[in-house]
Structure 1
């Protein structure tokens, strides 16, 4: 027990001698962890600070001709060159970078993607760069700079918790072992000195590893040869981040993956618009509902009945109707026919008797004329009755058009008034729209049917004087009705009101954000996109829309891929 107490007292005394030296050593160690600076002036302080925190060392510059983003990835400097107005990749025959008195030629990796070695960029340094972009049809100079602090990608030691644990275990094991040795050799003249040196060395090693002074793991990728020309560097960042101001940080590699393209907006004058559902109808002069005039059976013409969708000409034979009579009607007509035949027989006898007289008096001549007239009338009535039993009525189309409905079959018995055929002239259609806004009716400017890839102009005919579904019916004539069908529902855009200022942009540029609001995305910086609210939008032409508001025509708007940006977390 006395030996143990003596040992503990000696340990405490040695610790008091070692701790001041260790404290001085700790003061010499780095006080902060390595950080990276991206070298970009983002305008908005909050956005710049967030990008500074999450991004790799980089630079981004935009000129009138080009937009260049450089990303330091290991021992490589990746260059992405795009057109500033469209965000499409630009290729140059030669891309050179001048820095620190040296000139580097970039290697083309993909469209608008170049790479140069970056072994000359050291941690904690700032380098001024001059990029020369040359091709037969364009030339540009871009001056910029890139700043770095100590980063693992530059080959410096990377702090690994498992390494610290290993070294700490080794140091403690060494201390414990030497302490046991000292206990076993109390008379050794160097035991005290050895113990103090080992303890100090172990503690210093642990602290050095934890602070990054002793490299345990070097970044193997950082020492990779810069001549690698693989098409994709797995170290490049693709993650989209939402910044505190609501804008999106979209790394240039991610923009390439998503196919983000932009377009400069065009200032224009336009009108407010409203989109309503309309119904295509056949005009009264361009449609015909053909019905049966009598009861009967139908006989098809040569070639058969016309089929739905078949074109027919005016006065074209559609069917033949053979009238039929019910038993009562047939009995009445047969009885009437019998009486007519009797009367015809008697009149003929009277005519023969008058003609047989040798002396024809004047009154007999008058009687002969009367009887012959009566005979003629009876014969006409007889022929009419006979036609009712055996007659055929031709059914012809009153207009030229397309058969839209056939309600019969061969040999079918139809009743008087039954619908047989419907024929519509496809060139004579109009649209009915129900409007619930009186302001639209009073200031209507123009209207059109909008469908994917096409636009059909409408001519306003007038409005109905009777409400329908609590709204006012509006009627429009279709200038080009080809391809439309009666009864079809269509989207009708109506422009109304006074002219207002705005811009023209592609319809795909307008998207709906997670809150349900319509927005467009402005490409405010090479790797930052900001949403802009859209209050009024009106279609102008297929694929083009008019947006009311005050927009900067020099700031590109996302034309392709806006919906993908809205889906960002």
Structure 2
């Protein structure tokens, strides 16, 4: 009879382990262990004036002070900071990251503390009263035997949870076969069946408990093995439930967030015009061949490459005119005639020289014969030069080679452009306007990479070009990496004026549903989104027509990064 009692004890022990699984019902949570506390920010206090704003953060027995200018959010790294603390006066020393730090062991104890900071910047002194509240630390996790007991219960709970999540049919079939095997063994050995049947019923109830009482979505609240210690205070940028963004001061300095205060003003309306970069006609030129011929490099043996800087008068290439067979025959015939005439005139001049001293020939006749001889000789020399001397192609202006079509041995037709010379420091923008802009109004242009060009109005055409009026502007200053033919968007002023707030284009970002959003700096570490309606003002600014009022601090740099905080 020992075996039935042993089996009964084992079944009772297994039933005790499974009691938690059998007694829990849907929606009930019997776990009493506390959940891990969410990450929070470090204790901090803020204060601000019209010129400055101050944030004090308590961490690890130190107070870190951040000072920024209220209007621009620019960090103040050169200042004198004194503090009146619960332990007396203290001096905040500057840190390498631009903040100021002072020892404050009193901040490690929970409680509410009032600290008065005195900040001197550029000879002006400001007072900043700050209230710091240090919360109670979270409870320590269990340790020792209690922690080991909770760990063991967690293992049992994980096993039961695995059984509930698994398919119950194979488990029940296997358990039923096991029970039938035990009954058959006892029957063969002629053992009493009453205790065995009781044990089998208990085991069956245990096996069926995870399936019978556990359903989808049940939480049986098993104790957790060891509660993780609550994480310490963290300063993480995060988006709040109301849509505002909390950004700690260290993160603001990493993102280089800058702001400006909005001011209402009457500004001219602008119109967007398509345009492209063109060379200044007074500082550019083309190199063309006046006669057809074969191209050859200059004396250096190399054609100038694209981007090579050349000076006015430099020989860039030569053109050797081809001589046809008929032309060669005509030239030889003409040369023979000239040689014959030169020989006749030379004999005449020689005879006149002998007769002139005796008075038989006048001096005038001698001079005329000498002039005729000189003309014939010059014509003969010119005819020889036509056959041998190529045409030199020289640079008409100083600049760089913007276009080159020179290849050794290539036949150049008369009037063909071989080189184009452009001065990169003197470029224009030609735009097409469908509405005539304001007379003599300057403009700005925006490139595809976001760069902005300042333009000076040069003039507008009277003849339409594709139902538009060409308008030309000169680019002010020197801009690197500009090329002729590059497309730009020109924003030119019109005569109409309107009232609004001017903001940089970098201040406006796109919201989740496509609306235009700007971020207002409402507190030292808080930024709130504002929906606005904007119109183009120039290449670098937009005009806020509605959604903002004057005197608001709006983010002008880093708004795109701020919009990605979640």
For the superposition of Structure 1 and Structure 2, which TM-score range results when normalised by the shorter chain? 0.5 to 0.7
Query: 2:56 & 2:314 partners in 1: Cα distance?
Result: 76
Equivalent residues in 2 for 1:464-479 (5 A)? 464-468=461-465, 471-479=468-476
Q: 1:401 aligns with which of 387, 399, 402?
A: 399
Instruction: Give 1:321 shift.
Output: 4.2
Q: Tell me, what secondary structure is at the counterpart of 2:513?
A: coil
Compared with structure 1, are the counterparts of its residues 413 and 258 closer, same or farther at alpha carbon in structure 2 (3 Å cutoff)? closer
Residues 260, 556 of structure 2: 8 Å contact kept? no
Cα deviation, residue 325, structure 1: 0.4
Specify whether residues 332 and 549 from structure 1 end up closer, same or farther in structure 2 by C-alpha distance, changes over 3 A only.
same
Alignment of 1:207-218 (within 5 A): none
Q: Is the 8 A contact 1:260 1:560 kept in 2?
A: yes
Q: Match for 2:49 among 46, 64, 67?
A: 64
Distance 1:113 1:511, change over 3 A: farther
Instruction: Decide whether aligned partners of structure 1 residues 377 and 267 sit closer, same or farther in structure 2, where only a CA change above 3 A counts.
Output: same
Which of 256, 268, 273 is 1:271 aligned to? 268
- 1:8-47 deviation line (CA, Å, top 9, x unaligned): xxxxxxxxxxxxxxxxxxxxxxxxx99x9xxxxxxxxxxx
Give 3-state SS (helix, strand or coil) of 2:323's partner.
Answer: coil
Alignment match, 2:19 = none
Give unpaired runs (5+ residues) of structure 1. Answer: 1-32, 37-52, 122-126, 170-215, 222-232
1:459 — aligned with what?
456
Give the C-alpha shift of residue 549 in structure 1: 5.5
Residues 334 and 400 of structure 1: CA distance in aligned 2, closer, same or farther (over 3 Å): same
Residue 561 of structure 1 aligns with which residue? 558
1:424 Cα shift?
3.0
| C-alpha distance in structure 2 between counterparts of 1:57 and 1:426, whole Å | 56
- Aligned counterparts of 2:494 and 2:131: Cα–Cα separation in 1: 50
2:129 aligns with one of 138, 142, 147:
142
Deviates more, 1:59-68 or 1:491-500: 59-68
Q: Identify which of 328, 334, 337 aligns with 2:335.
A: 337
Instruction: After TM superposition, list the pairs within 5 Å mapping 1:142-541 onto structure 2.
Output: 142=129, 153=138, 234-236=232-234, 238=236, 240-244=238-242, 247-250=243-246, 252=248, 255-256=251-252, 259=255, 261-267=257-263, 269=265, 270-297=267-294, 298=296, 300-301=298-299, 305-342=303-340, 381-409=379-407, 414-426=412-424, 428-436=426-434, 438=435, 441-442=437-438, 445-450=441-446, 456-468=453-465, 471-481=468-478, 483=480, 484-503=482-501, 507-532=505-530, 533-539=532-538
SS at match of 2:493: strand
Shift of 1:61: 4.8
2:222 maps to none
Aligned to 1:201: none
Distance 1:72 1:371 in 2: 113
Q: Give 1:59 deviation, angstroms.
A: 7.5
CA shift for structure 1 position 449: 3.9
1:117 match: 107
Partners of 2:43 and 2:57 within 8 A in 1: yes
Local SS of the residue matching 1:403: strand
- TM-score of the aligned structures, taking structure 2 as reference length: 0.58
Q: How far did residue 285 of structure 1 move?
A: 3.7
Following TM superposition, by how much is the alpha carbon of 1:521 offset from its aligned partner in structure 2, in angstroms? Answer: 0.5
- How many residues are aligned here? 440
Under a length normalisation based on structure 1, what TM-score does the superposition of the two structures give?
0.58
Alpha-carbon distance in structure 2 between the residues aligned to 1:411 and 1:78: 80
Question: Which residue, 74, 90, 115 being the options, matches 1:131?
Answer: 115
Equivalent residues of 1:522, 1:530 under 8 A apart: yes
| More displaced 10-residue stretch of structure 1: 449-458 or 468-477 | 449-458
- CA drift at 1:349: 8.1
